[in-house]
Amino acid sequence: MSSEISDRRRLAARIPRDVEHCERYLNRLAVVVERAGKNGHAFLPIVRRLEKELAEAKEDEQVLAGLKSRLAGRGS
């Protein structure tokens, strides 16, 4: 594995993968795609990846909310 690929993977591991960040990235990407015009389709793999990560982040939030609810209902 080249060091460039390794560096990219380390960077990707540090990028927050929460709903707020995914939404912000998709908003920025929408501007990029709009400005790209006819070449906007080149960004579709990135859009799909971000949409998938957004869905996963939302699922994670639901799981965490469920756990908090479970703790709150547990009592003393």
- Which pLDDT belongs to residue 74? 81
What is the rounded average pLDDT of the residues 10-19?
A: 73
Which alpha helices (H) appear in the chain, and where do they start and end? 3-14, 19-36, 44-74
Tokens of 28: 């920025």
Per residue in 20-49, pLDDT (tens digit) is 999 999 999 999 999 999 999 999 999 999
